Structure 1
């Protein structure tokens, strides 16, 4: 059975979904999957499902939800029985734990590829960085748990995953810009910088890709758009690195056409923190 949380929640076996139908049961399964192979206390489960207003029957209701999840899993060919489902979804001491194989959860595969990509970064292997991070990003099918309305614990984890995904994209783009793939990145960077208008790093990457694609005017327009938004929203100027990149584009600095652009291209000098929004509906 394969579980997926990097998009709508899924519990699939042989091409067929075996999710419980009730929203609260899906919600509980999502919480357990984001802590796969780790015990999640009944207190955390209750807080996630009902926040500060649990019903008097919270514990027996949780037990009922767990039973319904097990029944859904038991219908799948790889689980087959309620007895096997109890080994897949384990009751502990005031806790529950879902057991998944290393490659059976997309989040586990994503984290493995993230670590492999970081090793490639330390080794200076941009091709491996691009290949590994692209494989990790391909696991996403939209926002994490897009069809689950999160409570306090899931909300924190989902927001953290969104930040990790965006950071991976930026690092992937950096490697691919060094590989000379600026033409291929224009559409992706344009869309992402528009979706995250306060992200200076994405805009700077887009500016560099535009400049290297002989679109200097559009690169300058991207800078002025960023400066206007930062001023209107936060009352600040773009960070020094982005301003230096802007000046280099204005003067046609030859370093912009090479890998030797240290100090002119975006780094992590400043990160503007903004809430990660979930799609409505």
Structure 2
């Protein structure tokens, strides 16, 4: 069996893909999967499912949802279940089951190591495979509690780091011109993320478009000043200086 949490939650059992239509049950299973092999207390589960003010029937409701999840995850012909009752709450045991989150973190870590060591082709391979596991938004509009909210924040940041590192690795391989359009898109979608502006400036500069690279700096500077009241960081300023200096020579 394999759990997939990097997008809408699904459980893949052989050729069968199982999804959950009931929102509260999906929230419960997502929380247990994210915290797999750890006990999640009933109080924590209440917060994830209902927020700060769970109803009086929360304990009974949680018991019903746990039963539904156990039924969903039970292998045919067996009573064994990966969802265990462990005071003060419940725990989902992975055992030999797969989890896309573990694959993602392994690929991201491997990509970082390759990038640090100058192994750019393997780095590109690792980052691309990690990003391919991310299938879309996680449990849209369902994150009441800190576990799911924290996971969503972490995943968004990890995906952006993965994308930045992928662009760095591709540029180290000399693919500047091919990356310009992707970097325009990324810097527009994430206007406060200086790394994408820096990469776009580099890609344009190495493609012979110095003027466009300097325009990117001016636009990024304007955005940062208007939105955050700050000047661009040293990395962006250094690239601007490098381009201006080379232009004069």
Q: Quick check: 1:139 aligned with 2:130?
A: no
For 1:216 and 1:101, how far apart are their aligned partners in 2?
55
Distance 1:103 1:210, change over 3 A: farther
Q: CA deviation at 1:101?
A: 4.8
Is the Cα contact below 8 Å between 2:84 and 2:92 reproduced in 1? yes
- Where do residues 53-202 of structure 1 align in structure 2 (5 Å cutoff)? 53-74=53-74, 79-81=75-77, 83-84=79-80, 86=81, 88-101=82-95, 104-143=98-137, 145-147=138-140, 149-153=142-146, 154-202=148-196
Q: Residues 241-260 of structure 1: matches in 2 within 5 Å?
A: 241-252=235-246
Structure 2 CA distance for aligned equivalents of residues 29 and 71 of structure 1:
12
| Displacement of 1:122 | 3.9
Residue 159 of structure 1 deviates from its aligned partner by: 0.5
RMSD after superposition: 2.0
Alignment check: 8 A CA contact 1:129 1:175 kept: yes
Query: Which segment is superposed worse, 11-20 or 236-245?
Result: 11-20
Counterpart in 2 of 1:11? 11
User: Corresponding residue for 1:49?
Assistant: 49
TM-score (norm 1): 0.81
Query: Does structure 2 retain, via aligned residues, the 8 Å contact 1:183–1:209?
Result: yes
Give the distance between the partners of 2:193 and 2:140, measured in 1 at CA. Answer: 26
* Contact persistence 2:3–2:97 (CA under 8 A): no
Following superposition, the deviation at residue 240 of structure 1 comes to 2.4
Partner in structure 2 of residue 265 of structure 1:
none
Take 2:44 and 2:211, find their aligned partners in 1: how far apart are those partners?
A: 53
What is the CA distance between 1:82 and its match in structure 2? 6.3
Pair 123,248 (structure 1): closer, same or farther in 2 beyond 3 Å: closer
* Structure 2: gaps (5+ residues): none
Distance 1:103 1:132 in 2: 22
Q: In the comparison of the two structures, how many residue pairs are matched?
A: 247
Q: Aligned with 2:98: secondary structure?
A: coil
Cα distance in structure 1, aligned partners of 2:71 and 2:169: 46
Could you tell me how far apart the structure 1 residues matched to 2:174 and 2:53 are? 55
Q: Identify if the C-alpha distance between structure 1 residues 191 and 102 changes in structure 2 by more than 3 Å, giving closer, same or farther.
A: farther
CA contact (8 A) 1:27 1:148 kept: no
Equivalents in 2 of 1:241, 1:20: separation in Å?
46
Q: Normalising by the residue count of structure 2, what TM-score does the alignment of the two structures yield?
A: 0.91
